[in-house]
A and B are shown apart, each in its own frame.
Chain A
Amino acid sequence: MRQGRIIGRTVLFLLAAVFAIGFLMPTVLTVTNSFMTQSEIDANYGMIFESARPGGTTYVGDSVNLKFIPDRVSFSQYETVLFRSPEYLLKFWNSIRLVIPIVILQVGIASFAAYSFTRYQGKLKNVLFFFYIILMLMPYQVTVVPNFIVADWLGILNTRWAIIFPGAFAPFSVFLLTKFMRRIPASLIEAAKLDGANEWQVFTKICLPQCRSALYSIAILVFIDYWNMVELPIILLPDADTQPLSVYLATINAGEVGIAFAVAVIYMIPPLLLFLHGEEALVEGIMHSGSVKG
């Protein structure tokens, strides 16, 4: 009996380890390969991009070689990204200029909307909330065309507002935060009212501090979602100069494979730091919002 349990656990552990390695491998590969020289990258992965390469003067290996440890640690790719090619940093800056306002506006607007859905009664409220859920369930490809038409009509097409504006009103955050706010006991709000708080003070001094973990988890999720966006900028920001770095990473070309690894590592840092800083809040926020049984 006991032996069977040990074998079962070992099998489970091995399975988990295989999956963990499978998930981690691309990240580890990206990080270690970012320290390779361009010639070593060509030797290992050149064959994949050979047909795209004009002239074909560089040495190209006969096969694709997944290599984790560089022959020689080199910072040349980082040097190029950070000091020699300002366009990468510009694109990084574009990403920040797009994502930060979306996060701030979406969290702010979702807080107001969720508070209203939580606090106010009325027949219209349930209908509206139902529409929010329907919108949330729609794949975003469905809303891209209307977004394009509206942005064009507003004259904000090919400006960052074409992405920020629809991004600020995402239904998922409202849904998540509403579920979270409904957990706040009514007596807490009533106590605050008796203590002399007006509606704004109840919202800012009682409700929002209670939702800190939810707000943080929404901020992280929204940040990661928009940090990785590709299709929206391609459609709504046709001008390459205004596009974020995520678009560049998705449209990588053969001559810049080495740089792409370095850029990818740099691009990974902000969401990673955000996640590490708010991991607990993220878990708590998602659990308490009703998405997971607590």
Chain B
Amino acid sequence: MAGITFNNVRKIYPNGVVAVQSFSMEIADREFVVLVGPSGCGKSTTLRMIAGLEDITDGELYLGDRLINDVAPKNRDISMVFQNYALYPHLTVFDNIAFGLKLRRVPRKIIRQKVEDVAKVLDLGDLLQRKPKALSGGQRQRVALGRAIVREPAAFLLDEPLSNLDANLRTQMRSEIKKLHYQLGATFVYVTHDQTEAMTMGDRLVVMKDGFIQQVDTPQNLYDHPCNLFVAGFIGSPKMNTLEAMLERRDGSLIAVFDGGELTIPASRTYDGSLDRYIGKPVILGIRPEDFHMESEHAGIANSCLISARVELSEQIGSGVYLYVKCGETQLIATLPTHGAARHGESVRLTVDCEKLYIFDKDSEEIIA
């Protein structure tokens, strides 16, 4: 087992497309790190550089203490699970799992033992003589995992391994992969564009955009303290509401005025004066949908502000309701408890927990409070 260190890694394709820029971070031994971001953000390229399937244009990549920039994939001691499973269709499940061991000339007896052990862990015992086409999606996924773990590599790379599975199976496999991580105690690097998957699985998440790392942190910290508008919007479901507002000083208080209402910024957010230079200037406000409450339920919230809105749509999700409202010309979404939720066309008064308000610089989109 080993950690992975990136030192200013860059990837530029021959056609000039810059896929990854200035990528520097350390993945600790036995850590489960998730690379997350929208399509084309460079997360898969980063994973493929670790695997050795893409050349590194610039920078240094270490596996443990070993510089692996120019090491061939087969010599990196790394396993990878592909999005389409990449099982060898002409081989049985047994031979698929044993393929890497056979190439390394491991004695036949040991191969059988190892494959059977892995099959037991992944519940593949009865399927060893089947060909991949005779397996379901979940079973194929487990075979792909089996092929990865049987070699006991230094690190596991998983490239959107659950994206071809249905929702139920995805949830099940998510927990199975997580259990496997605990069981193996190995370094896992996982790529996904699904933020729910990332939040539930990773010890730390790396949020990427346009080839750049936006933020590296634990799931909770990313949710609570996003460094910029992109991370704030990417992490959390439904997406954070963002609205343009003007900061004004009134009677000693800082007020954010937006089209359809205004919110008072609590003193606790302004005491350091960081917002003073934005007074009279436009900023971006961020409000998580779950920080809205019906007026009747706001009693326990210390620094809340009230806004009036008209309901445009409500979506039942069982545990609650997504309320799409319009406040002036501003579209907002609120996650509320089912009971008492308003219906289409009704006017509602919502309170906002202003302690949890996010304020971003309009130009740089960096968080300012």
Contacts and interface: CB of A to CB of B under 8 A. Distances in A.
B53 A193 contact: yes
A205 B86 CA distance: 14
Where chain B touches its partner, the secondary structure class is loop
A184 to B, nearest CB: 10
Interface string A55-91: 0000000000000000000000000000000000000
A194 B88 contact: no
B: interface residue count bin: 20 to 34
B73 A194 contact: yes
Contact of A192 (B51, B89, B99, B104): B99
A188 B80 CA distance: 11
A195 B151 CA distance: 8
A191 B90 contact: no
Nearest to A201: B103
Interface in A186-211: 187-188, 190-198, 201, 205-206, 209-210
Contact of B86 (A185, A197, A201, A212): A185
Contact of A190 (B86, B100, B151): B86
B74 interface: yes
A136 B76 CA distance: 43
Contacts of A205: 99
Nearest to B144: A191
B88 A188 contact: yes
Nearest to B148: A194
A210 B82 contact: no
B36 interface: no
Interface residues of A, number: 18
A195 B103 CA distance: 8
B209 interface: no
A191 B82 contact: yes
A130 to B, nearest CB: 21
B229 interface: no
A190 B88 contact: no
Contacts of B90: 209-210, 212
B147 interface: yes
Contacts of A212: 90
Contacts of B103: 195-197, 201
Among A188, A195, A197, max chain B CB count under 10 A is at A195
Contacts of B52: 193-194
B170 to A, nearest CB: 20
Interface of B: 51-53, 72-74, 76, 78-80, 82-84, 86, 88-90, 99-100, 103-104, 147, 151
Given A194-B79, A195-B74, A196-B103, 11 more contacts: A190-B73, A190-B80, A191-B88, A194-B80, A194-B100, A196-B74, A197-B103, A201-B103, A206-B88, A209-B90, A210-B89
13 contacts: A185-B84, A187-B83, A187-B86, A190-B51, A190-B82, A191-B80, A195-B74, A195-B99, A195-B100, A196-B74, A196-B104, A197-B74, A197-B103
Interface of A: 185, 187-188, 190-198, 201, 205-206, 209-210, 212
